Chains A and B, each alone.
Chain A
Amino acid sequence: MVISSGDTAWLLASTALVMLMTPGVGFFYGGLVRRKNLVSMITLSFVAFALVSLQWVLFGYSLVFGHDIGGLIGGLDFLGLSGVGQSPAVIVGTELTVPSLAYMIFQLVFATVTLAIVTSVFAERVKLSSFIIFGLLWTTLVYDPLAHWVWGGGWLANLGSLIGLTGGALDFAGGTVVHISAGFSALAIALVIRKRMGFGTDMMEPSNIPLALLGAALLWFGWFGFNAGSAIAANGLAANAFVVTNTAAAAAALAWMLLSWWNGRPASLGFASGAIAGLVAITPAAGYVDPLAAIIIGIVAGAVCYYAMIYRIKKGLDESCDCWSVHGMGGVVGALLTGVFATTAVNNYSGLLAGNVDQFIIQVIAVLVSVSYAFIVTFVLAKVLDSTIGMTVKEEEEYVGLDISQHGERAYP
């Protein structure tokens, strides 16, 4: 294979698109929290970006895409990006048409946005120093192994052969690796750290709804790079991913808005949350399903995530930017429906509708594995950190707000 300038150009452009998703998450969450925590919420995403950027370059990339060790983790061949240069990338034995460095930086922005998504559960009470330690450990212990299992030649990619079925787990752009892992990690953390003071009794008004909508817009925009870039080529498959991404987002946004209308008022935040739920659900499916299937995936994701949010509120879980209900549950919907709607008309894989039961069973197992792994490891990690260094700030610091107590700044004079 030789380097294709078209593929490389699209991959680098996609990387820039996905980079914008990380501050996009910050703006979205920032608009949802109270004004005294707006700066803190946006900063958490920026910090996640810088932190994971360095971890990835130093050893994260190697743990995911280094030579496979027992299907579990990558080797240390690419430590400090040694051997990752301008020649074509070779990923799991396949030579690509893009430079190794381009593939590496594209994967880097996936790892950064995943940690940014998890910040939902830390809203308005996390100690910044603890978040930095948590983030470094989480991306190393949870994200990197999962990414290796699915994309780096690990055991989930070869699941079929391990259990006597045909095929492996399909995850085009990160339904399991990014969204299920972020969502169920957030759920685990919510069960460990304390709730915000006055949660469930005090008024907690969103600081800036237009800012949250701007964040959602940046996410939608960046997601074209996330999904269409995952073709790692400027070709028909990238175009398919682009189209189904937009279609699912539109269907889910309207589905969520209609449900919230039926139960009260059609809130703009409902529309935005729905759009994100649709984007999440189409992520694993983007390279395997057609636009009409994307509409169904979007509607199902909008409805499932909406009711997951209602369930979270009923249960009194302080996971108030809804990383679990939107990303976690949306990821589950997407991974399962990939196993239903995958069609050979788009790519070389088929799902349940085409009579391929094996693929659906593999998707179910992949979901169970990623849910359990992310939940259990994160639960233990959060417990250890919370009982040693403490994950949350003192009550008076929380009362004043994290902007002033953690950063010495405030959003509005």
Chain B
Amino acid sequence: MKMVQAIIRPEKMEAVKKALEEKGFIAMTIIEVRGRGEQKGITLEFRGKKVDVDTIPKMKLEIVVKDEDVEIIIDTIRASARTGKVGDGKIFVLPVERMCKVRIDD
């Protein structure tokens, strides 16, 4: 089992959710986050005054899947969240030791 964590643009969240749903992946956790990547946020030059936008709002999506599903998840997220510009996000894959439901003793 693996956990796929994807940090994506907030405006792409709906498209990603829909694309994953079409592939049969329904369950997921979504967290609103702020952060910065390699470009250290964005510096805007406005009327000669520098405005530092240090962190940018993003969405983080967590989804736990079988090992063999990881690649398809990555491809689906890439296809639906990509704009080609800096700031499209990152995907991390983490090992998951165990998953148990709260509702029942399994």
A341 nearest CB across to chain B (Å):
45
Q: Which of A387-413 contact B (CB under 8 A)?
A: 396-397, 399-400, 404-406, 408
Contact residue among A201, A399, A405 (Cβ-Cβ distance under 8 Å from B46) = A405
Chain A residues, Cβ within 8 Å of B56: 400
Q: Known contacts A396-B44, A400-B42, A406-B46: does B53 contact A204 (CB below 8 Å)?
A: no
Which residues of A sit under 8 angstroms from B79, Cβ to Cβ? Answer: none
Rounded to whole angstroms, the CA-CA distance of A204 and B11 in the bound complex is: 7
B56 to chain A: closest residue by CB: A400
Given A400-B44, A405-B46, CB of A203 within 8 Å of CB of B13: yes
Contact A405 B44 (CB under 8 A): yes
Provide the B45-80 mask, 1 if CB < 8 A to any CB of A, else 0.
Answer: 010010101001100000000000000000000000
Question: B82 contacts the other chain (Cβ, under 8 Å)?
Answer: no
B44 adjacent to A397 (CB under 8 Å): yes
Q: Please, how many residues of chain A have a CB less than 8 angstroms from a CB on the other chain?
A: 14
The answer to whether B51 touches A202 (Cβ under 8 A) is no
Known: A396-B42, A400-B44, A405-B46. A203 touches B14 (CB 8 A): yes
- With A396-B42, A396-B44 known as contacts, the answer to whether A404 contacts B11 (CB < 8 A) is no
CB-based contact B11/A202 at 8 Å: yes
Report the minimum CB–CB distance from A397 to chain B (whole Å): 6
The residue that B11 contacts in the complex, of A198, A397, A405, A406, with Cβ under 8 A, is A198
Nearest residue, chain B, Cβ from A405: B44
**Once the chains bind, are B10 and A404 in contact (CB under 8 Å)?**
no
Interface centre among B10, B15, B46, B49 (most CB of A within 10 A): B46
Of residues 1 through 44 on chain B, the ones whose CB sits less than 8 Å from some CB of chain A are 10-15, 42, 44
Q: For the complex, what is the distance from the CA of A406 to the CA of B46, rounded to whole Å?
A: 8
> When chains A and B are docked, how far (Å) is the Cα of A195 from the Cα of B18?
24
CB-CB under 8 A from B14, the residues of chain A are 203
> How many Å from the CB of B59 to the closest CB on chain A?
10
How many residues of B sit at the interface, in one of the four size bands?
Answer: 10 to 19
Q: Residues of B contacting A397 with CB < 8 Å?
A: 44, 46
Tell me which of A198, A203, A400, A406 contacts B53 (CB under 8 A).
A400
Q: Tell me how far the C-beta of B85 lies from the nearest C-beta in chain A, rounded to whole angstroms.
A: 9
On whether the beta carbons of A405 and B51 are closer than 8 Å, the reply is yes
Task: Please indicate the chain A residues that have their CB under 8 angstroms from the CB of B44 in the complex.
Answer: 396-397, 400, 404-405
B70 CB to closest chain A CB, in angstroms?
A: 26
Residues A203 and B51 in contact, CB atoms below 8 Å apart: no
Determine the distance from Cα of A202 to Cα of B13 in the docked complex, in whole angstroms: 9
Chain B nearest CB: distance from A196 CB in Å? 10
Chain B residues with CB under 8 Å of A400's CB are 42, 44, 53, 56
| Distance in Å: Cβ of A126 to nearest Cβ of chain B | 14
Could you give, for residues 75-91 of chain B, a 1 whenever the CB lies within 8 Å of some chain A CB and a 0 otherwise?
00000000000010000
Q: Which partner residue on chain A sits nearest B11 by CB separation?
A: A202
Chain B residue contacts of A203, Cβ below 8 A: 10-15
Of residues 362 through 380 on chain A, the ones whose CB sits less than 8 Å from some CB of chain B are none
Q: Chain A: which residue is nearest B87 at the CB level?
A: A399
Provide the bound-state CA to CA distance between A406 and B51, in Å. Answer: 10
Q: How far is the CA of A400 from the CA of B57 in the complex (A)?
A: 9
Q: Which residues of chain B have C-beta atoms less than 8 A from A408's C-beta?
A: 46, 49, 51
Say yes or no: B51 contacts A404, CB within 8 Å: yes
List residues of A (182-240) whose CB comes within 8 Å of B's CBs.
Answer: 198, 201-204
Task: Give Cα A261–Cα B56 distance, bound, in whole angstroms.
Answer: 37
A203 to B57, CA, bound (A): 14
Least Cβ–Cβ distance between A198 and chain B, in angstroms? 6
Smallest CB separation, A61 vs chain B (Å): 32
Contacts of A405 in B (CB 8 A): 44, 46, 51
State in angstroms the CA–CA spacing of A396 and B10 once bound together: 15
Evaluate contact between A202 and B42: CB separation under 8 angstroms.
no
Contacts of A202 in B (CB 8 A): 11-12, 15
Q: Nearest Cβ distance between residue A128 and chain B, in whole angstroms?
A: 10
Nearest CB in chain B: distance from A309 CB, A: 21
CB neighbours of A36 from chain B (8 A): 57
**Which partner residue on chain A sits nearest B17 by CB separation?**
A203
Question: In the complex, A399 Cα to B44 Cα: how many Å?
Answer: 11
A396 to B53, CA, bound (A): 11
Complex Cα gap A201–B13 (Å): 11
Cβ proximity bits A272-315 to B, threshold 8 Å, 1 near / 0 not: 00000000000000000000000000000000000000000000
Nearest 10 A/B pairs, CB to CB: A202-B11, A203-B14, A400-B53, A203-B11, A405-B44, A408-B51, A198-B11, A404-B53, A400-B42, A397-B44
| Pairs across A and B, CB under 8 Å, 7 listed | A203-B10, A400-B53, A404-B53, A405-B51, A406-B46, A408-B46, A408-B51
Given contacts A203-B11, A203-B13, 4 further A-B contacts (CB under 8 A): A202-B15, A203-B10, A400-B42, A405-B44
